[in-house]
Structure 1
Amino acid sequence: MRLGLVSDSHGELENLREALRQLKEKWRVEIVAHLGDAWEDTVVFEEFSELSYLRVPGVYCPPYRDPAVPNRLAKEIAGYRLLFTHTPTAHSHDLEGDPDPQLLAQAGKVDIIAFGHTHIPEIRREGKVLWVNPGHLKSQDKKGHSPSYAVLELEKKAVKVWLVDLLSSVPFAEEIFQREG
């Protein structure tokens, strides 16, 4: 099962549209998660009705302050417990009751944490938890990283992760994590 991750589109709908096109056509993902900034950009998903999608708001998006909108989503997908969040840590804009990603990881309650916010693409393993940040989709970004997205292939015994440059559609990082236990 393949899952796509995008984050920090910040109103750059053409880049989001291109990422979704690549995720659908090249990577054949089944689900795409938008990890915040900006919530309203997910209107583009309507153009890709064959894709399922999830979304969480960014900490500065108005829906983040709405108790009816979950700021973090915990989902089981293909036998993995995933947390979808904008920030990798608790944030001052969190609402009462919002789970802290770090505490969930330390308690062993998640297998994978998908996050954005930093605009820096990364794949890392801390203990038994895989952390993935797809980067951002801005044409210009002050942190020096090109627009990118992530693809996760969730298999019974391993997770494969690719970080993909949006402009070239070529992966610039690839990791395989064997499932523990």
Structure 2
Amino acid sequence: MRHESLLAMLLPPVSYAHGPALRAELSTEGRALDETMLSLDRAGDGITPLAAGELLVDWERVCGITPPADAPYQQRLQLVLAKLAETGGLSIPYFTRLAAGMGLDIAIQEPQPFRAGVSLAGDVLWVPEIIWVWQVVVYGGDSQIFRFQAGLSAAGERLTAFGDPVVEAVFNDLKPAHTFVYFAYQDRR
């Protein structure tokens, strides 16, 4: 039942003339109460990020996340969920578990510089500074494709987004500051 009808039922049936001025006021007040109830429902959905809708911006603010300007809603939601699931760590198994929690199969490779007595003929010659670089190989073709979906995407978003800016943003946020991480995407392991 609309609030306009409820407000009208609160009036005594005889003492008020239900004229156009009173109907206009009841209509205006009823609409304001209807909008307040809808806003209250949306605020209740924002308790968790899973149904936050337009309140996802507040979750991003609380988590300290600045998503790319053209990031679709799904990517933004996945980034918030990943941020909330963080426990901390700097090891390869930590980053592998973090990616698995986001539904990704990854491998982390650490290139090593050529060292006499350790490296063999035919090994790749890297510069000594390569020890500060690591590569994340993301496996699986479907995990890096975000297609527009009714109910999960917002108006104005691209129909398809490639790559995985969520895992890239999370890893770049958590990696040691003196290192550089780059991502490679492959179909399968």
Q: Same fold (TM over 0.5)?
A: no
Query: Where is the helix percentage greater, Structure 1 or Structure 2?
Result: 2
Which of the two has higher C-alpha Rg?
2
Higher relative contact order (CA 8 A, sep 6+): 1
- TM (norm. structure 1) is 0.22
- TM (norm. structure 2) is 0.21
